[in-house]
């Protein structure tokens, strides 16, 4: 792709990992996802910071996005430290190569799963 | 964070607090939320104005967002006056420091909860 | 409000009015809504054009938005002509005063209602 | 329409076609859709590239959007090759005429269908 698509800095103001799930795993495990696309021909070095309502931010979590690849990152799977369940949070995602970020949640606490999505907020360069 | 992320003026055109709920409280109380992230190092002074279809706007409601914190504000919890249930409304959110705003609703009027979200409309500076 | 918020031209690429509904009316009637906020101090004259996959566009439908008011317009309620049910469509919304537009659907064809929302696409001025 | 609305390059970072469905077909077949609006008076030549987490991109898929028409394209229906089910993907959509793109998914794996939508990410021109 001649011209990369995306921005360097993104924010997701909504964040909440439900505390429980129903249905077969892992498809129906309640989760919160940052879908990140690196459509460029260079590896992207991504850092994620998590903000809370009542404590200092944690992170940055460092993730490499290979060229021409997407990573659908579940916040559930972040480690050292883990993201607490049942707590409000927000995230800021920064990259050294333009990427596109979309936020999705599957909430399977009830028999019928619920889903939501939005393109994240893209900061001006 | 060296460079704050966000904008000073935001709008959410959709607004509706369902009149009833099912399921355990408070997680499954029907609610409408403005998730606000202040990733900067300064306190943000936020004012929220609520618009209706058939009467003059109410507010502004004044909220302080501490530095490096997120507030997931439920419109249900605004007081003096409260936001009426079962009525269409819109909101405009203004801050003196750049913030990011995302709109979410949990509708639990039926056995299966439904959720929706979108990044709010960010005005140009 | 000193400075109006919004844009003059908006588009919603998704459009689909489900053909049936379940649950109490009118809250649970399946519907597709354009939530429009006029936060300015002037009346907005809005025109809506509906595009299809297999025929020429219809409209424009003309709607007045009073100053400092929101209108949550259900596409179901447009008349002369009505918007056909069970058909894919898109819409373009144009105003002479800056407004904010958000798209929402309630789909109640099944026992559990489903909802979706997004801020519409705002054209550059 | 005097002035076309939209952009030339769009991205959807989220993509996932559920592996099964419940309910009457085709309305309730689980699907992932790119709703594309060409409000201009010229045919748009659109090319779609699909990105994965673990292999090189596929495409471009070539689609013509007639003037003043919308196409709600189901990724399920792309052929040569098909888009694999149950796999994370992202898409980039490029056009030679300004278009508007919105992403929608119907997930009917459970008795209650779930829906999500967002306007796609619009690249600056």
Say which of B3, B70, B111 has its CB closest to residue A89. Answer: B70
- Backbone angles phi and psi of D77, in degrees to 5: -100, 0
- List CB contacts (< 8 A) between A112 and chain B: 111-113
Contacts of A113 in chain D (CB under 8 A): 107, 109-110, 112, 114
What residues contact residue A53 under an 8 Å CB cut-off, 6+ apart? A87, A88, A89, B69, B70, B71, B72
pLDDT in the model for residue D26: 61
CA dihedral B1, A9, C6, C10 (to 10 degrees): -170
The parts of chain B modelled with pLDDT lower than 70 are 1-2, 20-30, 106-114, 125
- Cβ partners under 8 Å of residue A47, min gap 6: A59, A60, A61, A62, A63, A93, A94, A95
Contacts of C1 in chain B (CB under 8 A): 49, 92
Mutation pick from D14, D54, D120 vs chain A, by most beta carbons of A within 10 Å, is D14
Round to whole Å and give the CA distance between B72 and A12: 12
Closest residue, chain D, to C15 (C-alpha) = D35
Chain B residues in contact with chain C using a Cβ-Cβ cutoff of 8 Å: 9, 11-16, 49, 51-54, 56-57, 86, 88-90, 92, 103, 105, 107, 109-112, 114-121, 123
What per-residue confidence (pLDDT) applies to A93?
98
pLDDT above 80 for D118: yes
Of residues A27, A37, A116, nearest to D13 (C-beta): A37
Contact across the interface for C35 and B54, Cβ inside 8 Å? no
What pLDDT score does D2 carry?
A: 55
Cβ separation C53–D72 shorter than 8 A: yes
List, in sequence order, the alpha helices (H) in C1-125. none
Mean pLDDT of D90-115: 81
Looking at residue C18, its pLDDT comes to 76
Lowest-pLDDT range, A26-30, B72-76, C87-91, D52-56?
A26-30
pLDDT for A32: 84
Q: By mean pLDDT, which of B87-96, D1-10, D103-112 is the weakest?
A: D103-112
Q: What is the mean pLDDT of residues A16-35?
A: 71
Contact A51 B71 (CB under 8 A): no
Between B1 and D100, the higher pLDDT residue: D100
- What distance in Å separates the CA atoms of residue C63 and residue C48, rounded to the nearest whole number? 8
**What mean pLDDT is reported for chain A?**
87
pLDDT at A71 over 60: yes
- Judged by average pLDDT, the poorest of A49-58, D26-35, D97-106 is D26-35
**What confidence score (pLDDT) does residue B114 get?**
62
Look at residues C23, C34, C22, C25 and name the one whose alpha carbon lies nearest to residue C59: C34
| Res A31: pLDDT | 74
Nearest C-alpha in D relative to A122: D121
Q: Which residues pair with D47 in a beta bridge?
A: D62, D94
Q: Which residue of A has its CA nearest to D56?
A: A68
- The Cα–Cα gap between B49 and B94 comes to 9
CA distance B80 to C91: 38
A46 pLDDT more than 90: yes
Q: Report the pLDDT value the prediction gives residue A116, as an integer from 0 to 100.
A: 82
Question: What was the pLDDT predicted at D24?
Answer: 57
Number of helices and strands in chain D (H, E)? 0, 8
Residue C67 to chain B, least CA–CA distance (Å): 9
The pLDDT of residue C29 is: 63
pLDDT at A86: 86
Cis amide bond preceding B20, omega within 30: no
What is the nearest CA distance from A30 to chain B, expressed in angstroms? 13
The model carries a pTM of 0.92
Task: Give the Cα separation of B54 and C72 in Å (integer).
Answer: 11
Q: Shortest CA distance to B109 belongs to which of D85, C111, D113, C122?
A: C111
Which of D9, D56, D105 lies closest to A5 in CB terms? D9
Q: Give tens-digit pLDDT for B26-44.
A: 655 667 899 999 999 999 9
Mean pLDDT of successive 10-residue stretches along chain C, which has 125 residues: 85 86 60 92 98 97 97 93 93 97 74 74 87
- The per-residue pLDDT for C27 is 58
């Amino acid at each position: 792709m001649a011209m990369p698509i995306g921005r360097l800095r993104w924010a997701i103001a909504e964040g909440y990992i439900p505390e429980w799930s129903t249905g077969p795993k892992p498809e129906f495990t309640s989760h919160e996802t940052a879908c990140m696309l690196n459509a460029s021909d260079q590896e992207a070095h991504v850092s994620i910071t998590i903000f809370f309502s009542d404590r200092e931010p944690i992170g940055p979590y460092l993730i490499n996005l290979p060229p021409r690849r997407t990573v659908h990152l579940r916040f559930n799977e972040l480690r050292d430290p883990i993201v607490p369940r049942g707590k409000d949070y927000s995230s800021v995602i920064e990259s050294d190569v333009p990427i596109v970020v979309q936020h999705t949640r599957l909430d399977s606490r009830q028999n019928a799963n619920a889903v939501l999505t939005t393109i994240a907020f893209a900061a001006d360069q």
